[in-house]
Chains A and B, each alone.
Chain A
Amino acid sequence: MHSANIFTGRSFRRWTAALVMSGASCLGLSAPAPAQESTDPIKLTLHDWTGQLITTEIMGEVLKKAGYSIEYVQADYLAQFAGLETGDLHVAMEMWETTGREAMDAATATGKVENFGPTGMKAKEEWWYPSYMTEKCPGLPNWEALKEEACAEAFSTAETAPKGRYLGGPVTWGGFDDERVEALDLPFEVIHAGTDAALFAELESAYQRQAPIMLWIYAPHWAPAKYEGQWVEFPEYSAECYNDPAAGINPDAAYDCGKPFGEIWKVGWAGVKDKWPGAYDAIKAFTIDNDEMGKMITEVDLNGKTVSAVVADWMGANEARWSGWIKK
């Protein structure tokens, strides 16, 4: 269609363009993007963790194969909602139930942002400790071991002794750890890290010194692959346990159980459906599972491959799957 630009006469150009357009539609040419869809680029947001970069790049590559124009925009995980609401940004591939729920609900309530369904990945979050700590606290991973004084003391620091020190996620993540410690009567003090970088910096530091640490870890992430350790096994999560004090071990308190598994959602601008209907279907169809993602994250963060290379490998190995997402 660029050939039309060669002619300088304006009416002539418009006329030619119309001719080409109608010609294309008459002949039923398989133009890359269907004629009624916009040729504007679809903007996908990139955040600062590897898993999200991989998910987004897979989606982007698939959409490219379907003939769409793609643009990656670097955006903050939560600040991006301002852009998604106004339509400056279009698709965010990973919105974790566990950390992004409130912002997502606030945005979808405006009607300008739409939930494109689950990615198929499940976020796991729980208390986690390195394997070398089983020596000092042999009852683990059963949570009841943490109630023993000696065990709690093994996890303590000068500021928290004799209580153990548990490094929780940033306050913005929620997680109800203060409530959990209270409800299960654990001799632990909850310290909140400000960011997840700080969280893993502490883990790295402790791991290098084989020093005690108990902290909040989530997956899919490179940490469980890099460091040897286990999740603490709390009583299993149920909705009643969080909402109803009577349920669970402690009859007087809620949150007397472990953390829920959370979906990881795809969200985006509500206008995507009308502007790029084909892309909308493809995005909704996208799924991937935890194991696949865990492997890809490890390839990038620990084996030093680039995100693009890992995505290209995946695209090569899973052609049947992704071509299913974009077939009309």
Chain B
Amino acid sequence: MATPGSPALETNAAHDAAKALRLPIAWLVALAAFIAFWLYAEPVARAAFDYPKAYTVPLAKWISSAMKWLIDDASFGLFSFTDLTRFVSAVLDVPYRLASSLLSTGFLEGSGSSAIQIVPPLPWVAVIGLVMLLGHWLGGMRLGLLAGGCFLFLAVFGQWTSAMITLASILVAAPLGVVFGLLFGIAAWRWRWIERLITPPLDLMQTIPVFAYLVPVLFLFGFGPTAAVIATLIFATPPMTRIAILALRAVPGEIIDLGHMVGCTDRQMTWRVMVPAARESLMVGMNQVIMLSLNMVIIASMIGAGGLGFDVLAALRRLDFGAGLEAGFAIVALAIAMDRLSQAAAEKLSAPASDPATSGLFARHPYLIAALALAIMTTLLGYVVPGIHTYPEAWQLSTGTFWSEVVAWININFFDTLEAIKNAMLLNVLIPFKRFLGDLPWFGVAALLSFAGCRLGGLRLAALASGLALFIAATGQWEKAMITVYLCGISAVLAALIGLPIGIFAATRDRVWSWVQVAIDTLQTLPSFVYLMPAVMLFRVGDFTAMIAVVAFAVAPAIRYTALGIRKVDPRLIEAGRAMGCTEWQILTRIRLKLALPEILLGLNQTIMFALSMLVITALVGTRDLGQEVYIALTKADTGRGLVAGLSIAAIAIIADRLISAGAIHARRRLGLE
């Protein structure tokens, strides 16, 4: 990474100026050629504008038949492929069963409605007590109260039963996601070839919409909570791996040297030196896994996981905004409690253990003993006083029709104003941009991408970018892909414009940051359905409503990573800057932003990825992009069609990601940062 104020900056300046002059000329020529091609080549080269149907590759059909073979016939001799996947889900089912028995169903003999309960699930009083104990142990009184408060919210608003079902599946999925993510990250950090090997799958896992692979996952892993856990893992692990690689690489050289000097083995080096040193960034990864797991709650509920996601969907289908919001906020409460607890846990576990010299079981494990005592006592008491076991219905609160009335009030009083704003935005920005992108010739775009790739990252990048563009055209997805680019592009730009300033502002103010954190955690975990349907009421179905949903979701990483990057800047450098007489503005632009650049770029990258991952949701309000293609494929159980559309979305994401990162490296070199 860069060392600010290095003399290299000065000497390079002249050289850079020359370079900066040379570069735009090539770009201008390419752009001019592109525009000329676009305007004049249509009569000559029809095929460059509309990809000829006869040459469309029937990839969808191939994938469908390959999948059929995999499910029906594939075999390793002794056992078939399906046996293997079923075995995996049987293994995953064990911890899930345990968690759900403990929290929601109780331990049962038999199955279905004829099952007999042997031991009831933990009473609500016990769960709240345990969470508070855990919070107190990990982070003191404040954390205990926070975690307990979150869980109390679930009980008070009548979400307890569903929330425990959701909690059980998250308790299985999130730790697995963190462990797998970290292991992949470490492997990729150690061996470069592994990084090269896993980067494309990581991109695909994060960008192919879940709906696209839902059907094959269900066939392979069976219908139920474990399939939901697997889909969650596929979706939620990649950010952990990415952050782990970045974090390990950012560990200062001095620490590594020290590790070598004191004679660490490879294993000690990894677990005792690198991982603890990268702790802060790894915690962000953990946070992301938890957030994304909770994000999957809605989709998981569609494939048999039940819980809060199901409540949200059912409430919104009857337009009961209040109930939807309550279930949605229950998800948020779970997310906040789990995130804060896990962060405290990571901090406590990686801190040097203060060796307790006290002897005696009670003195050494006061929390464990208290927890056990609490669980047993409340369970026994629950047989006598039912209110201890199940939260009494009479004490439940509900916002009732309040939220529906709020929406109705806004609708009746402000609809015309909102409609005017929406129409202005649609007619002046959205529709012209959409038309513009729709008109572009695919061949010209592919060539331009190839040129950009070549300038920014060399021939390989050029081949990648144009190859992926060709893939989209050749599978017959060009038109839909352009609508996708338009919707996600505008939304990502808006999200970045909103997110970066907020991130910068909040980063240096601890109090503001803690509130902003709550806000972005909420945005990221509150199912978008909850605000999508009121948005439909106010803005009608269509692109504008979709854009609101995408921006609301994609703004979170823009804020989070910006703030993280700035907060990580070494305070001594800021001090040094001050001592040298920098103004606040200079400190911000010359020191903080420059040093935070890698994180900010990662944040932008994630903003684009998040925007693309919302595509399937936007299909639910009537957009006509690749997301809708995936959704249609799901409804027709057409594996091939869904995966092809999903891969096209991934292709867009990868092109954007690679060009942006190559551009960033390029820019940093020009600025003398590397």
Residues of A participating in the B interface, judged by any CB pair closer than 8 Å: 2, 39-43, 48-50, 60, 64, 68-71, 73-76, 78-83, 85-86, 88-89, 102-103, 106-107, 157-159, 167, 170-172, 191-198, 200-202, 204-205, 208-209, 211, 222, 301
Contacts and interface: CB of A to CB of B under 8 A. Distances in A.
A205 B415 contact: yes
A82 B637 contact: yes
Contacts of A208: 408, 411-412
B634 A78 contact: yes
A318 B214 CA distance: 40
Contacts of A301: 318
A193 B621 contact: yes
B621 A79 contact: no
Nearest to B420: A158
Contacts of B302: 74-76, 79
A199 to B, nearest CB: 8
Interface string B292-322: 0000000001111110001001101111000
A256 B215 CA distance: 36
Given A39-B110, A83-B218, 9 more contacts: A41-B114, A43-B112, A69-B111, A74-B305, A83-B304, A157-B540, A191-B622, A194-B541, A197-B620
Interface stretch (B219-227, B469-477, B499-507, B509-517): B219-227
Nearest to A50: B318
A70 B113 contact: yes
Contacts of B25: none
A83 B632 CA distance: 19
Contacts of B223: 73, 75, 80, 82-83, 86, 88-89
B291 to A, nearest CB: 23
A208 B321 CA distance: 15
Interface stretch (B246-254, B256-264, B442-450, B531-539): B531-539
B541 to A, nearest CB: 5
B113 A202 contact: no
B112 A41 contact: yes
B636 A191 contact: no
Which of B306, B317, B529, B542 has the most chain A CB atoms inside 10 A of its CB? B317
B415 A172 contact: no
A197 B320 CA distance: 10
What size tier do the contact residues of chain B reach? 35 or more
Contacts of A60: 113
B541 A78 contact: no
A42 B319 CA distance: 31
Contacts of B305: 74
B153 interface: no
Contacts of B532: 198
Given A83-B222, A201-B537, A49 B317 contact: yes
B521 to A, nearest CB: 25
B622 A74 contact: no
Most A-side CB within 10 Å, residue of B218, B223, B637: B223
Nearest to B400: A304
Interface string B631-653: 11011110000000000000000
Contact of A194 (B304, B319, B623): B623
A195 B621 contact: yes
Shortest 8 CB-CB contacts between residues of A and residues of B: A41-B112, A83-B223, A69-B112, A82-B218, A76-B302, A69-B114, A88-B223, A205-B537
Given A48-B314, A81-B637, A73 B411 contact: no
Contacts of A202: 536-537, 540-541
Contact of A74 (B215, B306, B619, B620): B306
B65 interface: no
Nearest to A196: B317
A75 B411 CA distance: 33
A76 B298 CA distance: 11
A289 to B, nearest CB: 22
B207 interface: no
B466 interface: no
Contacts of B533: 197-198, 201
A260 to B, nearest CB: 20
30 contacts: A39-B110, A40-B111, A49-B314, A69-B111, A69-B115, A74-B304, A75-B223, A76-B302, A78-B636, A79-B215, A79-B303, A79-B634, A83-B223, A83-B304, A86-B222, A191-B541, A191-B622, A193-B541, A193-B622, A194-B623, A194-B631, A197-B317, A197-B319, A197-B533, A197-B620, A198-B536, A198-B621, A202-B540, A205-B536, A205-B540
Contacts of A209: 411-412, 415
Nearest to B68: A110
Contacts of A74: 301-302, 304-306, 310
A41 B317 contact: no
Nearest to B415: A209
B586 interface: no
Contacts of A43: 112
A146 B593 CA distance: 60
Interface of B: 109-116, 214-215, 218-219, 222-224, 301-306, 310, 313-314, 316-319, 408, 411-412, 415, 419, 423, 426, 529, 532-534, 536-538, 540-542, 618-623, 628, 631-632, 634-637
Q: Which of A60, A82, A83 has the most CB of B within 10 A?
A: A82
A71 B112 contact: yes
B114 A39 contact: yes
A129 B317 CA distance: 20
B537 A171 contact: no
Contacts of B415: 205, 209, 211
A172 B179 CA distance: 39
B546 to A, nearest CB: 9
- Of A75, A79, A202, which is in contact with the most chain B CB atoms at under 10 Å from its CB? A79
A299 B220 CA distance: 40
Given A79-B214, A80-B223, A172 B635 contact: yes
B113 A205 contact: no
Given A103-B636, A205-B411, A71 B111 contact: yes
A42 B635 contact: no
Q: Which one of B112, B303, B306, B412 has the greatest number of beta carbons of chain A within 10 Å?
A: B112
B304 A75 contact: yes
Contacts of A81: 637
Contacts of A86: 219, 222-223
A24 to B, nearest CB: 16
Contact of A75 (B303, B318, B621): B303
Contacts of A78: 634-637
B224 A200 contact: no
Contacts of A196: 317
A39 B114 CA distance: 9
Contacts of B303: 75-76, 79
B622 A198 contact: yes
A170 B622 CA distance: 7
A231 B511 CA distance: 57
A71 B621 CA distance: 33
Contacts of B317: 48-50, 196-197, 200
A19 to B, nearest CB: 21
A201 B111 contact: no
Contact of B318 (A79, A102, A107, A222): A222
A201 B538 CA distance: 9
Given A71-B113, A194-B619, A194-B621, A79 B218 contact: yes
A69 B113 contact: yes
A188 to B, nearest CB: 16
A48 B310 contact: yes
A10 to B, nearest CB: 18
B69 to A, nearest CB: 14
- Candidate in A106, A157, A196, A201 with the most chain B CB atoms within 10 angstroms: A201
A167 B540 CA distance: 10
Contacts of A89: 223, 304
B537 A204 contact: yes
Nearest to B72: A110
Nearest to B309: A74
Nearest to A60: B113
Contacts of A88: 222-224
